[in-house]
Amino acid sequence: MRYANGGTALTGTYITKRDGMAVVKLDSGYNIGTSPEKIELVGRPAPQPPAGAGVVVQNPDLPDLAIISTGGTIASRVDYRTGAVMSQFSANDILRAIPELGEIARYRDRQVASILSENMHPALWQELARAVYDEIRAGVSGVIITHGTDTMAYSAAALGFMLKTPVPVVFVGSQRSADRPSSDNAMNALCSAAVATGDLGEVAVLMHATTNDDRCAIHRATRVRKMHTSRRDAFQSMGMAPLGYVDYPALSVTLSDEAVRRGTGEPEIHDALEERCALLHFYPGMPSCVLDAFEGYAGLVISGTGLGHVATEWIPRIREMVADGTTIVMTSQCLHGRVCDRVYNTGRDLLSAGVIEGEDMLPEAALVKLMWVLGNEPDPEKAGVLMQTDLAGEIRRRSV
């Protein structure tokens, strides 16, 4: 393509048309937008040879790991000609992008979905749980799940409730896209492989511990939350210390006493979920008619104020809903701390209306748990008891 402007003619590659402008990559590498009439075709590029040639040979003496991708990419590649960023999913692609992974394990890859994590939904959690369960049954030493960061904590909690696993199941992602030289993807991926071949025996999330490239933190699936929109260390363990750390580049894993160890129990899957559950964030002045939208729902988690409150005005409607069979669980938008509806009158009224105190559960973990509990326990009373029972480390008996 030839581009003429201001007396000079330059050549480049036509990339696309966007909003009436032709996007052109000049030979210097710069893109510009120009009116289509300023460019003319001088030839067509020779077809590009197929990418990703070259098979990586894996070391058979190393432990087997399964990499299950959901659309979160730990490896991607840039086409410098067009500037497009390509996602990579196959173990081969991942190993070519992060060759050091090959020194830790052998990998088999499996793609469950190819979505942005904001589009994640409960049916996919079930599919993901089954895929992980199959891999564990097939005898892998550990499972790595690559996942977008937006909803990673929800998915991790879901698998935390659905699966019993004797091997590590590690969610990992990156806050900086993998096409950047500064991406946290390689370090996170390497640390996740170190954990997946290590001594852990539960579902966990692994991400940067700080802004430094020196340490990753291992978080319990049901107590982790994304606490920042963009920082590498966005993921934090809430109300407890992380299950452990991985030092980089040494890749040495340290687990806390609390972390469940490899080989504890047999693999189990309970993948039923009741999807008619919701999470409601209360705010001052929020009308109680909002609750009407959840009429007929099996479960509702309220992210209330302080110790676990909503406006007094809401209580009659809540009483009706509970009577109609909706399980309502109270959590707190404070995130830190335990719900206690026995201190103030509003709380006592909520309890008498049938609201269940969500202890110190994170609102999102409580939502996922409610889906799981109601999916597996048809008796509302027993379901209520289960909501206040620690099933997967989501409830701490003591606040310390």
Partner 1 sequence: MNYQELGLKAGIEIHQQLDTAEKLFCRCPTLLRDTAERSGEFHRYLRATESELGEIDRAAREEMRLVRKFCYYTYDTVCLVEHDEEPPTPMNPEALEVCLTIAKMLGMTPVEQVHTMRKLVIDGSNTSGFQRTALVALSGSLPDGCLIETICLEEEAAQRVEDEIFSLDRLGIPLIEITTAPCMHTPEAVQQVAGHIGMVLRSTGRVKRGLGTIRQDVNVSIADGARVEIKGVQELDLIAEVVRREVERQVGLLAIRDALRERGARVDHTVVDVTALFSGTASAILKKAKSILAVRLYGFAGLVGREIQPGRRLGSEMSDYAKKCGVGGIFHTDELPAYGVTADEVACLREFVGAGENDAVVIVAATRQRAGCAAEQVMIRAEMALSGVPEETRKMLEEGSTAYMRPLPGAARMYPETDVFEVEIDAARWERIVVPELLTDRAERFVREFGLDETLARQVAFSERLPMFEKAVAAGVRPTTAARTLLATCRELARDGVAVGRVSEDELLALLSAVEAGRAAKEAIPDLITELARTAGGDGAPLDRVDAAIEKMAPAVSEADVEAIVRRIVAEREAFAREKGMGALGPLMGIVMQEIRGSVDGKVVSETLRRELKRLLA
| # residues near partner 1 by CB under 8 A | 54
Span interacting with partner 1, options 56-64, 137-145, 211-219, 339-347, rule CB under 8 A: 211-219
Q: Minimal distance in Å, beta carbon 167 to partner 1?
A: 29
Q: Is 36 in the site for partner 1 (CB under 8 A)?
A: no
Interatomic CA distance for residues 118 and 171, integer angstroms: 16
From 11, 17, 40, 51, residue interacting with partner 1 (rule: CB under 8 A): 51
Of residues 18 and 398, the one with the C-beta less far from partner 1: 18
Q: Is 56 in the site for partner 1 (CB under 8 A)?
A: no
* 3-state helix/strand/coil string of the chain: CEEEECCEEEEEEEEEEECCEEEEEECCCCEEEECHHHEECCCCCCCCCCCCCCCCCCCCCCCEEEEEECCCCCCEEECCCCCCEEECCCHHHHHHHCHHHHHCCEEEEEECCCCCHHHCCHHHHHHHHHHHHHHHHCCCCEEEEECCCCCHHHHHHHHHHHEECCCCEEEECCCCCCCCCCCCHHHHHHHHHHHHCCCECCEEEEEECCCCCCEEEEEEHHHEEECCCCCCCCEEECCCCCCEEEECCCCEEEECCCCCECCCCCCEECCCCCCCEEEEECCCCCCHHHHHHHCCCCEEEEEEECCCECCHHHHHHHHHHHHCCCEEEEEECCCCCCCCCCCCHHHHHHHHCCCEECCCCCHHHHHHHHHHHHHHCCCHHHHHHHHCCCCCCCCCCCCC
Q: Minimal distance in Å, beta carbon 1 to partner 1?
A: 15
Q: Minimal distance in Å, beta carbon 16 to partner 1?
A: 11
From 150, 213, 247, 275, residue interacting with partner 1 (rule: CB under 8 A): 213
Q: Is 43 in the site for partner 1 (CB under 8 A)?
A: no
Span interacting with partner 1, options 152-160, 171-179, 328-336, 363-371, rule CB under 8 A: 171-179
Q: Minimal distance in Å, beta carbon 161 to partner 1?
A: 32
From 17, 121, 180, 270, residue interacting with partner 1 (rule: CB under 8 A): 180
Q: Minimal distance in Å, beta carbon 82 to partner 1?
A: 8
Of residues 133 and 235, the one with the C-beta less far from partner 1: 235
Active site residues: 73, 149-150, 226
DSSP conformational letter for 191: H
Q: Going residue by residue from 226 to 265, which x/- string records binding to partner 1, judged by CB under 8 A?
A: ---xxxx----------------x----------------
Give the tokens for residue 366: 């409580």
Q: Minimal distance in Å, beta carbon 14 to partner 1?
A: 14
Q: Going residue by residue from 90 to 109, which x/- string records binding to partner 1, judged by CB under 8 A?
A: ------xx------------
Interatomic CA distance for residues 195 and 206, integer angstroms: 9
Of residues 78 and 340, the one with the C-beta less far from partner 1: 78
Q: Minimal distance in Å, beta carbon 40 to partner 1?
A: 16
- Helices 380-387 & 363-376 angle (0-180, nearest 10): 150
Task: Using CA atoms of 65, 69, 74, 77 in order, give the dihedral in degrees to the nearest 10.
Answer: 120
From 42, 46, 53, 289, residue interacting with partner 1 (rule: CB under 8 A): 53
Could you tell me if 6 and 34 are in contact, meaning their C-beta atoms sit under 8 angstroms apart? Answer: no
Q: Is 379 in the site for partner 1 (CB under 8 A)?
A: no
Q: Is 27 in the site for partner 1 (CB under 8 A)?
A: yes
Scan residues 5-24 and list those touching partner 1 (CB under 8 A): 5-8, 10, 21, 23
Q: Is 378 in the site for partner 1 (CB under 8 A)?
A: no
Q: Is 26 in the site for partner 1 (CB under 8 A)?
A: yes
Map tokens 């379901």 to a residue.
383
Of residues 53 and 400, the one with the C-beta less far from partner 1: 53
> Can you give the binding site for partner 1, defined by CB under 8 A?
5-8, 10, 21, 23, 26-35, 48-49, 51-54, 77-86, 96-97, 176, 178-183, 186-187, 210-214, 229-232, 249
